[in-house]
C-alpha cells in the first residue's frame, strides 16, 4: 500500500474565499515526504501559485479537478460547484451536510451516485471528539471584530480582505469613540472561537462577559439580554433550547448586534433561531428588528477569510501532518482519524436516505464553534 497520497488542491468557486487549506510552506513539507500535490490556478487565493510551484507542486487550470486521477484526494474549503452531478473522488472540505442543512441530501446523493466520498474537515477529530484542524480562533476574532466595528459605526461594506495589523488598528481606533461602554457577551468563551472573540473585544477596549458550559447549562436570559453585543461561538450537535429567540428581540432590552460565528442557520441544532439567511461580504449586516430597539445580525460563514493569510497558515499548520497520514494509490482509508471522517460520511448518507446504490467503502451536545 502506498503511503504517498496525491492531493489536488482545487480553486475555490466563491469569489470572497481567499484562504487555502494548505499553505506553500506546508505543501513543501508534504512534498519532501513523498506526497504528490497539484494546485489549481486561482484568481482569489492569497498565496501565489508560483510559491507552490517553487516547492515542487504541480499546477493545473482552475476547475480541472474533475479530470484528476481517481486516486487523488480533492482538497478545498468551501462549497463545490453544481457540476459535475456525480462526484467520483474523495473530497476533503467543509461540506455542511450532516445535520439536515439545506441541500444536504442532494450533496450526499452526488457522492453516492458517483461512488465518491466526503471527508468532512469538521469531523476530523481525535478519539475524544476534539477537532484536530480548525479555523476557530480567527473565526471568533473576525466575528467579534465586525460586531464591535458595526456597533461603533465604523464597519463599511462590502468587506475586503485585510491583514491582522490593519484590523487591529481599526479596533484600537474605535475604542476612542462612541461605544466604549458597550457590554459584550461571548458564549463559548473557553473554546478556540470564543478565545478569539474575547481577544478581539479586548483589543477594542471591551472586557467581555465570558460564558461557557457552566453558564449555559441554566441560562440567565435576563443577563444575556442585558448586553449590547452578543457573540455566539457554540456549535450544537443536537437540538437544545436556544440561547436567543424571536420573542426576545420583540422586548425592550436585547443585544443590538448579534454575531453568530457558528452560522448553523438551516439546522435544527441552531442555537440562535432568530434569522433564516446568512449575511455575506457584500451585505455583512442584516436588520432583524427596527424601531426604538433595533437588532442587527452578522452571520458570515467564511469569517476567517477576512484574514486569509493568518487564518490559512494557522489552519494549514494543523492540517498538513494529518494529510501526511492519508493512504496513496488505492481507495482504502486506514488511518484512524480519517477513518472516523469516512464513518461520519457513511452515517450521514444512511440517515438522509441518500445511499441508494451506494458502494461499500473499505473501512472498518455541544462544542465550541470552529467556524469555516
Spatial separation of the C-alpha atoms in residues 54 and 290, rounded to whole Å: 54
Cβ atoms 332, 362 nearer than 8 A? yes
Up-side HSE of residue 127: CA atoms within 13 Å toward CB?
Answer: 2
The conformation of residue 163, written as its DSSP 8-state character, comes to: -
Spatial separation of the C-alpha atoms in residues 99 and 69, rounded to whole Å: 31
What is residue 358's predicted lDDT score, i.e. its pLDDT? 39
What is residue 371's predicted lDDT score, i.e. its pLDDT? 54
Domain parsing of the chain, residue ranges = 6-132+308-364, 136-306
What is residue 355's predicted lDDT score, i.e. its pLDDT? 61
Are 6-132+308-364 and 136-306 equal in CATH topology?
yes
96 catalytic? Reply is: yes
Look at domain 6-132+308-364 and name its CATH class.
Answer: alpha beta
6 catalytic? Reply is: no
Q: What distances in angstroms separate CA 151 from CA 114, 174, 257, 295, 302, one per listed residue?
A: 47, 10, 7, 10, 21
What is residue 179's predicted lDDT score, i.e. its pLDDT? 63
pLDDT in tens, the chain (372 residues): 457 899 999 999 999 999 999 999 999 999 999 999 999 999 999 999 999 999 999 999 999 999 999 999 999 999 999 999 999 999 999 999 998 888 999 999 999 999 999 999 999 999 999 999 999 999 999 999 999 999 999 999 999 999 999 999 999 999 986 666 899 999 999 999 999 999 999 999 999 999 999 999 999 999 999 999 999 999 787 888 999 999 999 999 999 999 999 998 878 889 999 999 999 999 999 999 999 999 999 999 999 999 999 999 999 999 999 999 998 755 668 899 999 999 999 999 999 876 644 333 333 344 555 555
Coil, strand or helix at 37: strand
What is residue 329's predicted lDDT score, i.e. its pLDDT? 58
Look at domain 136-306 and name its CATH class.
Answer: alpha beta
Q: Indicate which residue of 6, 44, 78, 368 is catalytic.
A: 78
Cβ atoms 36, 96 nearer than 8 A? no
Q: Indicate which residue of 91, 96, 99, 254 is catalytic.
A: 96
What is residue 363's predicted lDDT score, i.e. its pLDDT? 34
Cβ atoms 341, 168 nearer than 8 A? no
String of DSSP letters for 105-145? HHHHHHHHHHT-EEEEGGG-B-TTS-BSS--HHHHHHHHHH
Q: If we measure between CA atoms, which residue out of 309, 254, 9, 268 comes closest to residue 138?
A: 309
Its pTM stands at: 0.88
What is residue 370's predicted lDDT score, i.e. its pLDDT? 55
What is residue 127's predicted lDDT score, i.e. its pLDDT? 93
Amino acid at each position: 500500500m502506498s503511503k504517498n497520497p496525491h492531493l489536488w488542491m482545487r480553486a475555490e468557486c466563491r469569489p470572497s474565499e481567499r484562504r487555502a487549506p494548505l499553505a506553500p510552506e506546508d505543501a513543501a513539507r508534504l512534498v519532501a515526504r513523498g506526497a504528490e500535490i497539484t494546485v489549481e490556478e486561482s484568481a482569489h487565493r492569497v498565496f501565489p501559485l508560483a510559491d507552490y510551484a517553487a516547492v515542487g507542486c504541480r499546477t493545473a487550470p482552475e476547475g480541472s479537478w474533475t479530470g484528476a486521477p481517481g486516486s487523488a484526494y480533492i482538497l478545498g474549503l468551501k462549497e463545490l460547484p453544481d457540476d459535475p452531478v456525480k462526484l467520483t473522488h474523495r473530497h476533503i472540505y467543509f461540506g455542511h451536510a450532516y445535520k439536515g442543512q439545506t441541500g444536504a441530501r442532494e450533496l450526499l446523493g452526488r457522492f453516492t451516485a458517483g461512488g465518491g466520498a466526503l471527508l468532512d474537515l469538521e469531523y476530523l477529530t481525535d478519539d475524544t471528539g476534539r477537532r484536530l484542524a480548525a479555523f476557530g480562533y480567527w473565526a471568533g476574532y473576525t466575528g467579534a471584530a465586525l460586531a464591535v466595528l458595526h456597533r461603533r459605526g465604523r464597519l463599511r461594506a462590502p468587506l475586503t480582505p485585510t491583514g491582522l495589523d490593519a484590523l487591529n488598528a481599526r479596533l484600537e481606533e474605535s475604542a476612542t469613540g462612541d461605544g466604549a461602554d458597550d457590554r459584550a457577551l461571548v458564549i463559548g468563551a473557553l473554546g478556540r472561537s470564543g478565545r478569539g472573540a474575547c481577544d478581539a473585544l479586548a483589543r477594542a477596549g471591551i472586557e467581555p462577559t465570558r460564558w461557557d458550559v457552566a453558564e449555559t447549562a441554566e441560562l440567565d436570559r435576563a443577563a444575556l439580554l442585558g448586553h449590547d453585543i452578543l457573540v455566539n461561538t457554540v456549535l450544537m450537535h443536537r437540538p437544545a433550547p436556544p440561547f436567543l429567540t424571536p420573542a426576545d428581540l420583540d422586548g425592550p432590552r436585547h443585544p443590538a448586534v448579534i454575531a453568530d460565528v457558528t452560522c448553523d442557520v438551516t439546522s435544527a441544532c441552531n442555537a440562535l433561531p432568530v434569522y433564516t439567511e446568512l449575511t455575506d461580504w457584500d451585505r455583512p449586516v442584516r436588520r432583524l428588528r427596527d424601531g426604538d430597539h433595533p437588532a442587527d445580525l452578522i452571520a458570515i460563514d467564511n469569517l476567517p477569510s477576512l484574514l486569509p493569510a493568518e487564518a490559512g497558515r494557522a489552519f494549514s499548520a494543523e492540517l498538513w501532518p494529518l494529510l501526511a497520514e492519508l493512504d496513496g494509490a488505492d481507495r482504502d482509508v486506514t488511518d484512524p482519524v480519517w477513518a472516523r471522517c469516512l464513518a461520519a460520511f457513511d452515517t450521514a448518507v444512511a440517515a438522509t436516505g441518500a445511499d441508494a446504490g451506494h458502494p461499500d467503502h473499505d473501512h472498518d451536545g455541544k462544542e465550541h464553534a470552529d467556524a469555516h
